[in-house]
Structure 1
Amino acid sequence: MKILTKAERRVPYIWIAFAWSCVALAWGPAAALAAGASPSLRELAVATAFCFASFLPWALATRRLFRLCHRHPLGEGRDASSVIALLLTGVAVIPLLTLVVPAIQAAIALISSSLFGPPQPLAALARRIIVTSLFAVPTYVAVIAVGQTFVWAGRARDQEARSARAELRALRAELSPHFLMNALGSIAQMAHLSADRAEAALSALANVLRSGLTAENEMCMLADELGAVDEHLLLYRQLNGRLDYRRAVGDSMWQRLLPSRILIPLVENALTHGETLPDGTRQVDLKVTAAPHATRIEIGNPAPAVARASNGLNSGLDHVRQRLAILYQDRFRMTVARNGTWFSVVLELPDA
């Protein structure tokens, strides 16, 4: 969830050109019909072309007017200064933009009077610019209104992104204390039996915590995520003994992006709630394959013959589902299935 940069907030020129073209296409026929009840195709074409020429300066200035709205937003407690700045800018900009077409016409008339007739007197030209500027005031107000709308829409997106990131951090932090307390409790018991084993377990725990604290980015490569899983499993071996970890990863999958530390709670659930093999060994299978436009990750473990209720299991799965919902909305799939004595969680995460 990233906050939009200034470059990402800019409205592409193609959309600005499209919007102003729609306005010109709407105004052209209306202007021709206002001049005569039954305009010819030539008169319609000339009126539409004139509208395109009249709105071209506005189209070229739209991005700058939008940036003006970002510098002087309304509704932030300094409306008076923003309104004054927008009004003063309008007083300067509106005549400047409306005199472009009359000035071009006057220049062409000086060169060739056959196109637009003889040059207009300066007084008539000034009067035309003043009248056109007055008619252009609603146009300026409309552009500023759209710009202010973009400002507040962008800020709403930024606030949503900040809220989502805060919620993600809270979800990740909520999982860590439970894991840490269990690990420290096991190491404390181990210290009474073997100082060397306790030291090795503390070293493994330090590696796990170091990698977790340095994982600031919300997304990471699959290779880094699997490295974090390996560190957790090494700690598990130090604390609990035998583990059968089977991993299958497609050759082209290692660089795929996925949410950082999203697999850790699933692996911890498999270790904590899975059934042990007859010799006491825990088994965890992890398989990563490519799905259409997605990365498919399956984590499985043996399950008891009779399903047992477990709030801890449901809590861990709910945390993962909540994180994925924040990051991907409804573009991911998380399937929890029990097939006889085998329990599996399957994630399908869309490609970035």
Structure 2
Amino acid sequence: MSKRLLFVLGIVLLWWTAYALMFASQVVGMGEEQGAPVSWREALRYSFGGWMTWVPLSLGLYLAVRRFPLERGRLFASAAVLTLAALLVVMLRAAHVYFTNPIFGWYAQLPDFSSVLAASLSKNFMMAWTVIGAAHALVFYEQAREREQRVVDLERGLIAARLEALRAQLHPHFLFNALNSVAEMVHEDVELADRMLVSLSAMLRDALSHEQAQERPLRRELELLRHYLTIEKIRLGERLRIDWAVPEECLDVPVPALILQPLVENAIVHALARRREPGVLSLSAARRDGLLQLHVENSLAPGEPPAPGFGVGLRSVESRLQLLYGGHARFERRDIGRERHIVAIGIPLPAAAPGAAGLAA
């Protein structure tokens, strides 16, 4: 038996048990008022013997309503089926009364079955339709909940698909740049090229992994970011200085996977790699105002216009923040004077972010 059917059975049992107890109480009360006392034992036997037969009948009517609900498109067909179901209930109730009369004494003198059936029709036909109405309320409620759940599942599936599509755009974007850097270095310094390949292999493992989680701890993001920066540091040499300011308390906060690397790559490709003089890339993090605030700041190339538009990486970052956190996330980029550019993102902190312990930024 399914959980849903067990739940309905529990409701039906509870309802008819309460109804039988209430009816027994009325029988006892009426007996006392009329000067013909009826014991509780006799009243309960009589009440439960009659009303509890509605438990299987109600369950059967519920199943009939689930199969043939009164709804647009088949209203008359369903009404005919449910009318037949109600008449079947009338007959079953009549048969119960007729054959159990020796036990419960429904009639002092048992009439023929047609008379019992007529009495059952007058008493039980409308009761059956009352049960059918209650069953419709329950069925329609279940259908509404199922529709809501389907909508939620579809929305989650759509968001997951869009997030995966955005994430998939990032992998070839930075991997091809990293491969180009290794290809350039292998002709100049084999040892440095080997270090670059080690870092690249770590990035490839992450790119090709089957990990489906959209979020992971900031410490994991920083580990992969260090591999990327190892490659760029070797390629740019003294032209790239890196400053870190990430406190321990931020390291275990979950962040979207690959959220920092596109920001850092944008800073290097569009600004730092175009400089002749040394430039600074600064990465900082802080927990403030219910957000994990991450800042990527970089030197601009002297005399160069600001970095052109939003590329694939930055568009993906902003889109993923919107999909994952809606209006609770922040994304901002701006120039600080003519020398510096900053990209700031804010990621909502979990209700109880664990304290970090381990990797120092």
Query: TM-score over 0.5 for the alignment?
Result: yes
Query: What letter is aligned with 1:258?
Result: V
Task: Name the structure 2 match of 1:153.
Answer: 148
In the TM superposition, 1:170-319 aligns within 5 A as 170-214=165-209, 215-242=211-238, 243-275=240-272, 280-306=277-303, 308=305, 310-311=307-308, 313-319=310-316
Structure 2: any 5+ residue segments left out of the alignment? 12-53, 94-103, 105-115, 351-361
List, as ranges, runs of 4+ consecutive aligned residues in structure 1 with deviation greater than 6 Å: 122-126, 276-279
Report the Cα distance in structure 2 between the residues aligned to 1:248 and 1:136, rounded to whole angstroms.
68
AA at the equivalent of 2:218 = L
Aligned residue identity for 2:215 = M
Cα deviation code 1:53-96 (max 9, x no counterpart)? xxxx99xx99xx89x98xx9x9xxxx99xx99xx89xx69xx8x
Q: What is the Cα-based RMSD across aligned positions, in Å?
A: 4.2
Paired residues of 1:332 and 1:349 also in contact (CA < 8 A): yes
- Aligned to 1:308, what secondary structure does the other structure show? coil
Rounded to whole Å, the distance in 1 between the matches of 2:296 and 2:163 is: 22
C-alpha distance in 2, partners of 1:186/1:333? Answer: 32
Contact kept in structure 2, 1:276 and 1:283, CA below 8 Å: no
Tell me, what secondary structure is at the counterpart of 1:261? coil
| CA distance in structure 2 between the partners assigned to 1:294 and 1:128 by the alignment | 66
1:344 corresponding residue in structure 2 = 342
**2:328 counterpart SS class:** coil
After superposing the two structures, state which structure 1 stretch, 253-262 or 299-308, moved more.
Answer: 299-308
CA displacement at 1:125 relative to structure 2: 8.2
> What fraction of aligned residue pairs are identical, expressed as a percent?
25
Q: Report Cα offsets for 1:1-29 as digits up to 9, x if no partner.
A: xxxxxx9xx9xx9xxx9xxxxxxxxxxxx
Contact 2:181 2:235 in 1 (8 A): yes
Task: Label 1:275 to 1:187 Cα distance change in 2 as closer, same or farther (>3 A).
Answer: closer
Alignment of 1:29-68 (within 5 A): none
SS class of match (1:252): helix
Instruction: State the Cα deviation string for residues 104-145 of structure 1 (Å, max 9, x = none).
Output: xxxxxx9xxxxxxxxxxx987886454222123233223212
Write the distance in 2 (CA, Å) between the matches of 1:309 and 1:157: 42
Taking structure 2 as the reference length, the TM-score comes to 0.60
Task: Indicate conservation of the 8 Å contact 2:263/2:314, yes or no.
Answer: yes
Q: Secondary structure at the match of 1:324?
A: helix
Name the CA distance, whole Å, in 2 between partners of 1:140 and 1:268.
61
Q: Contact (CA 8 Å) 1:273, 1:313: kept in 2 or not?
A: no
1:138 aligns with 2:136: no
Give the TM-score, by structure 1 length.
0.62
- Separation in structure 2 between the aligned mates of residue 309 and residue 234 of structure 1, nearest angstrom: 25
Q: Does 1:330 align with 2:358?
A: no
Q: How many positions carry a matched residue from both structures?
A: 262
Deviation at 1:307?
Answer: 5.5
Q: Write out per-residue CA displacement over residues 190-246 of structure 1, whole angstroms, 9 at most, x where no aligned residue.
A: 222233332222222111111333343111111111112112111222333233221
**Change beyond 3 A, Cα 1:290–1:306:** same
1:134 maps to amino acid: W
One-letter amino acid of the structure 1 residue matched with residue 144 of structure 2: T
User: Would the alpha carbon gap of residues 195 and 305 (structure 1) be closer, same or farther in structure 2, given more than 3 Å must change?
Assistant: closer
TM-aligned CA deviation for residue 342 of structure 1: 1.2
Q: Report deviation, 1:346.
A: 0.9
1:169 aligns with 2:164: yes
What is the Cα deviation at residue 167 of structure 1? 1.4
- Structure 1 letter corresponding to 2:320: R
